[in-house]
């Protein structure tokens, strides 16, 4: 776990016994004193050795953590480069696929433009045929009405001829909607 700058300074101060202007013995250290410098700092010899050891181990720890951070960074960079290559390949494949789709889309657009006039022609023909069909249906209705009228007129002409030819015959029961069944006049069924 990396130490912050404050933590490092605090540890260094705890490990190194630096006293400004005061010279006091520390437990477990020799009473041998270094000469005081002009600034009034007294440093004990055992502390110097300890300071060098702490500094070296701290430096080694920092170098170890820096090495781990560098190795992790290199690993991550390599991993990201591999992922980047994969993403670029996927992107390239998608671009190729998109190019194929664009070609297909262009072909389909050409076909649509070719089919639009045909479709418009067919729509016009369908409208014309629908109008003709409607006209023929109307003509059929008119012809059916004319046929009924003609049949009624023919039936009346036949009855008039019977009256002239056989004035004594009762034709009051005669009707165009009746037929002869077993010698009797019966209504024509819709069967």
The per-residue pLDDT for range 83-95, each reduced to its tens digit, is: 999 999 999 999 8
Q: Which pLDDT band, with edges at 50, 70 and 90, does 64 fall under?
A: confident
The per-residue pLDDT for range 34-55, each reduced to its tens digit, is: 444 444 444 454 544 444 544 6
pLDDT at position 33? 44
Q: Which pLDDT band, with edges at 50, 70 and 90, does 133 fall under?
A: very high
- What is the chain's mean pLDDT, rounded? 79
The per-residue pLDDT for range 106-129, each reduced to its tens digit, is: 999 999 999 999 999 999 999 999
Lookup: tokens for 33? 């004193």
Lookup: tokens for 138? 């109307």
pLDDT at position 116? 94
181: part of which helix (H) or strand (E)? strand 178-181
Cα–Cα distance between 37 and 20 in angstroms, integer? Answer: 10
Lookup: tokens for 27? 């437990």
Lowest-confidence pick of 3-17, 84-98, 130-144, 151-165: 3-17
For 44, other C-beta atoms within 10 Å of its C-beta total 23
């Amino acid at each position: 776990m990396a130490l912050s700058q404050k933590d490092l300074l605090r540890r260094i101060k705890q490990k190194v016994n630096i006293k400004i202007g005061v010279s006091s013995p520390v437990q477990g250290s020799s009473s041998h004193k270094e000469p005081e410098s002009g600034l009034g700092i007294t440093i004990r010899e055992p502390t110097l050795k300890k300071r060098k050891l702490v500094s070296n181990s701290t430096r080694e720890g920092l170098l170890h953590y820096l090495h781990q951070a560098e190795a992790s960074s290199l690993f991550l960079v390599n991993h990201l480069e591999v992922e980047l290559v994969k993403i670029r390949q996927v992107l390239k494949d998608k671009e190729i696929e998109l190019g194929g789709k664009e070609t297909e889309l262009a072909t389909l657009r050409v076909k649509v433009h070719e089919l639009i006039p045909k479709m418009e022609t067919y729509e016009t023909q369908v409208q014309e045929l629908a109008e003709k069909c409607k006209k023929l249906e109307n003509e059929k209705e008119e012809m059916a009405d004319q046929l009924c009228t003609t049949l009624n007129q023919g039936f009346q002409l036949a009855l008039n001829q019977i009256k002239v030819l056989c004035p004594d015959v009762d034709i009051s029961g005669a009707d165009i909607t009746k037929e002869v069944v077993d010698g009797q006049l019966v209504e024509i069924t819709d069967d």
